[in-house]
Amino acid sequence: MNPELARAESLIASIADYPQPGILFRDIAPLLADAGALRATTEALVAPFAGSFDVVAGIEARGFILAGAAAIAAGVGFAPIRKAGKLPRPAAAVDYALEYGTATVEMHDDLPSGTRILLIDDVLATGGTLAAGREIVESLGYVVAGISVLFEIEGLGGRDVIGDLHTVFRSA
């Protein structure tokens, strides 16, 4: 790992028992506030997929931040995947389980069929959120060109659910 990425990783704070007891929350706010760390991680998120995608899609909420930065860095557009009830005209919705509850995501169908999408989120834990993201992208006729996450929590089965993906940082 290069020194910029190592420094970026050191900025991720671990918060015990948030949002409920037993959950170890990875707070990326300190990383996002540091221009060098944000630049290094954004570049690392998209590098393996350079030239293979037309749009970056991010999953609400922290995935939006990373995906927006990645879209700008790659010179492509951004498509939001939002929590239920946040879009004025959702074209598709997918329900999924999280490690501490359930949720629904929605997405518009503003892109041409066959658009190649790089799907980005902040953390891979059990894989439910990214699986829902992949499902909604594909249900709308788009192609998942790749999946990239900032931080993978190993041992929670997320990689088993998602399969091949790129992670910048990993933790047990």
> CA separation (Å) from 166 to 6, 30, 101?
17, 22, 25
Considering 26, 62, 82, 134, which one is annotated as catalytic?
A: 62
The contacts of residue 73 (CB under 8 Å, 6+ apart) are: 42, 43, 46
Does 62 qualify as catalytic in the annotation? yes
The pLDDT of residue 172: 60
> CA separation (Å) from 48 to 60, 64, 112?
23, 19, 24
Considering 4, 7, 43, 99, which one is annotated as catalytic?
A: 99
Does 99 qualify as catalytic in the annotation? yes
The pLDDT of residue 24: 85
Q: How far is CA 162 from the centre of its chain?
A: 12
Residues lower than pLDDT 70 in the chain: 99-100, 172
Of 133, 127, 160, which is closest to residue 146 (Cα–Cα)? 133
